[in-house]
Amino acid sequence: MHIPDGYISPQTAGGLWALVVPAWYAAGYKVRRTLDARQAPLIAIGAAFTFIIMMFNIPLPGGTTGHAVGGTIVAIVIGPWAAVIAVSVALAIQALFFGDGGILALGANCFNIGFILPVTGYLTYRLIARGAAEGSARRWIAAGVGGWTGLNLAALLTAVVFGLQGELYTAADGSALYSPYGLATAIPAMMVPHLAVAGVVEAVMTSLVYIFLQRTNPALLQNYKTARAGGESRFELRPLIIGLALLLVCTPIGLLATGTAWGEWGADEVADEVGYVPEGMDRYAGAWTGLLPDYGFPAGEEGESLGEGAAETAGVVSVDAARKSAPAYLVSGVVGLALASVAALLSARFLFRGRQEGNRG
């Protein structure tokens, strides 16, 4: 799921840097407030742990192997904010010290895998595990579902980032400048294997590690709770949830807006900044103004489906969408919006419960 350099345009990379830096600052601020200085090694350990277990080959049915990210289990043990820093650090070390994974794309990778994955994974875990006894099955199930959800949301965002390249950045002759696939291809191509395989690996491993810790080292699973109780301020989930919900809602909207915003911005400023305008930008700047009222799916453009899951989510969209991808864009946006709404709904429910608990305590 790592995006290497070269797959995405510098503009996209820059945009994701702009998203991840505030997330880091928020995490740093939260960690400083909730964990004292002695907890710094804990985060480092979480990072080193993530780094190492990404190297563990997990046997999959059929004789192949995959690997887990471990973001959710790390978030459960050291807390979501600390996990944001830990996973980001692991990614940074891969990129900077080992030359694996992109340096310009590090912002994108840290946002998807370092921020979205552990935070949504942890929220899902908390949501399902709420009120369950420490040693109960509901807790490890919650951990597994958390792992699955976190990984797939991160994969979805990564797919959107990839897909935007095919949509927006093409040379004059129509050849791709970066990743060649549009959203309609990138999303199913990423999501089918992640929903069915990588997410399941993450879920199984997260659950198995959780069960192991329940049996052998339950104190470690309480570690974050203890640290929170010891810190001066109670860990506040509300701002996190509100921020995340906003973000999830805004991301697809932002993507929908990208066509216009970037297109227009591109014509004026990109030319000054970078010296050229990506052709895709110009195209969309025009396409979008007239899109929403009366754009339908032109007949006979539906491409091949990549699988059942894809058929449901994006099957109506043609695969060679690069040239007429406005509807694909819309569908992707709607799918994203729907997913985000579900996440927001869940978050709201969680928030409501949190408030109830707050009133009681």
Q: Does 49 bind another protein (CB under 8 A)?
A: yes
* Site residues (CB under 8 A) for another protein, limited to 243-282: 274-276
Q: How far apart (Å, rounded) are the C-alpha atoms in residues 39 and 305?
A: 49
Q: Which is nearer to another protein, 176 or 242 (CB)?
A: 176
Q: Which is nearer to another protein, 285 or 319 (CB)?
A: 319
Q: Which is nearer to another protein, 190 or 247 (CB)?
A: 190
Q: Which is nearer to another protein, 48 or 330 (CB)?
A: 48
Q: Figure out which of the listed residues 1, 5, 257, 261 binds another protein, where binding follows CB under 8 A.
A: 5
Q: Does 141 bind another protein (CB under 8 A)?
A: no
Q: Figure out which of the listed residues 1, 19, 26, 58 binds another protein, where binding follows CB under 8 A.
A: 58
Structure tokens at 353: 């419960």
Q: Which is nearer to another protein, 275 or 293 (CB)?
A: 275
Give buried/exposed letters for 88-116 (b at 16+ CB in 10 A, else e).
bbbbbbbbeeeeebbebbbbbbbbbbbbb
Residue 355 CB, nearest approach to another protein (Å)? 31
Q: Which is nearer to another protein, 277 or 351 (CB)?
A: 277
Q: Which is nearer to another protein, 264 or 302 (CB)?
A: 302
Q: Which is nearer to another protein, 26 or 351 (CB)?
A: 26
Q: Does 296 bind another protein (CB under 8 A)?
A: no
Nearest to 90, CA basis, from 37, 146, 26, 46: 46
**Angle in degrees, 0-180, between the axes of helices 137-168 and 279-289, rounded to the nearest 10:** 100
> In a 10 Å sphere around its CB, with 0-12 CB exposed, 13-18 middle and 19+ buried, how is residue 132 labelled?
middle
**Cα dist from 251 to 94, 189, 195, whole Å:** 27, 20, 20
Q: Figure out which of the listed residues 37, 233, 296, 361 binds another protein, where binding follows CB under 8 A.
A: 37
* Site residues (CB under 8 A) for another protein, limited to 315-334: 318-320, 322-323
Query: x/- binding map, residues 102-121, to another protein, per CB under 8 A?
Result: xxx-----------------
Q: How far apart (Å, rounded) are the C-alpha atoms in residues 76 and 209?
A: 11
Q: Does 100 bind another protein (CB under 8 A)?
A: yes
**Among the residue ranges 61-69, 118-126, 234-242, 353-361, the one whose residues contact another protein (CB under 8 A):** 61-69
Place of tokens 């709607």: 334
Provide the terminal-to-terminal Cα distance of the chain, rounded to the nearest Å. Answer: 41
Task: Answer whether 91's CB lies under 8 Å from 111's CB.
Answer: no
Alpha carbon 189 to its chain centroid, in Å, reads 16
* Site residues (CB under 8 A) for another protein, limited to 10-29: 10, 13, 24-25, 28
Q: Figure out which of the listed residues 18, 56, 138, 356 binds another protein, where binding follows CB under 8 A.
A: 56
Q: How far apart (Å, rounded) are the C-alpha atoms in residues 287 and 198?
A: 36
Mapped onto helix, strand or coil, the DSSP state of residue 109 is: helix
Mapped onto helix, strand or coil, the DSSP state of residue 66 is: strand
Q: Does 145 bind another protein (CB under 8 A)?
A: no
* Site residues (CB under 8 A) for another protein, limited to 66-95: 70, 73, 77, 85-86, 88-90, 92-93, 95
* Site residues (CB under 8 A) for another protein, limited to 210-249: 211-213, 216-217, 219-220, 223
Q: Which is nearer to another protein, 38 or 360 (CB)?
A: 38
The contacts of residue 331 (CB under 8 Å, 6+ apart) are: 184, 314, 316, 317
Nearest to 328, CA basis, from 191, 169, 161, 186: 186
Query: x/- binding map, residues 165-194, to another protein, per CB under 8 A?
Result: -x----xxxxxxxxxxx---x---------
Q: Figure out which of the listed residues 302, 341, 353, 354 binds another protein, where binding follows CB under 8 A.
A: 302
